């Protein structure tokens, strides 16, 4: 049996700096990231969030290769966890865990492209 090929350009795990070192997260478990000034909170499956000493832009640079989308100035979302989009001024997203996240008017087009045409 051949070993599984890995893509070295886009690893499946990310090391996030926390107060006492680094925590390693599987990218597929990250639901969304939220900006908090010069820091960010990473929300993962299981209801856990991790406060990290990095700006959201630094996460975006890495996670955009994993199809994460910037839905708002303060939010970076894994589209695999989007359950519902509600229209409005910009609208908002409902994630599979029940979280609601705002969508900026400028980002509405990105969200609409995610919705399959029927």
CA 105 from centroid of its chain's CA atoms: 18
Give the chain's mean pLDDT: 86
51-61 tens-digit pLDDT: 998 899 999 98
CA distance 82 to 77: 8
Predicted local confidence at residue 113, as pLDDT: 82
* pTM score, whole prediction: 0.84
Handedness of CA 103, 114, 84, 50 (dihedral sign): negative
CA distance 70 to 48: 21
Residue 31 tokens, joined: 């639901």
8-64 tens-digit pLDDT: 555 788 888 888 889 899 999 999 999 999 999 999 999 899 999 889 999 998 899
The mean per-residue pLDDT over the stretch 80-99 comes to 92
């Amino acid at each position: 049996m051949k070993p599984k090929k890995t893509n070295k350009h886009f690893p499946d795990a990310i090391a996030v700096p926390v107060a006492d070192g680094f925590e390693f997260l599987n990218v597929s478990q990250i639901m969304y990231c939220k900006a908090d000034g010069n820091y960010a909170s990473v929300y993962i499956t299981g209801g856990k969030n991790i406060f990290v000493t990095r700006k959201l832009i630094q996460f975006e640079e890495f996670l955009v290769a994993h199809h994460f989308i910037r839905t708002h100035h303060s939010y970076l979302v894994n589209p695999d966890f989007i359950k519902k989009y509600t229209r409005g001024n910009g609208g908002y997203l409902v994630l599979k865990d029940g979280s609601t996240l705002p969508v900026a008017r400028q980002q509405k087009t990105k969200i609409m492209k995610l919705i399959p045409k029927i």
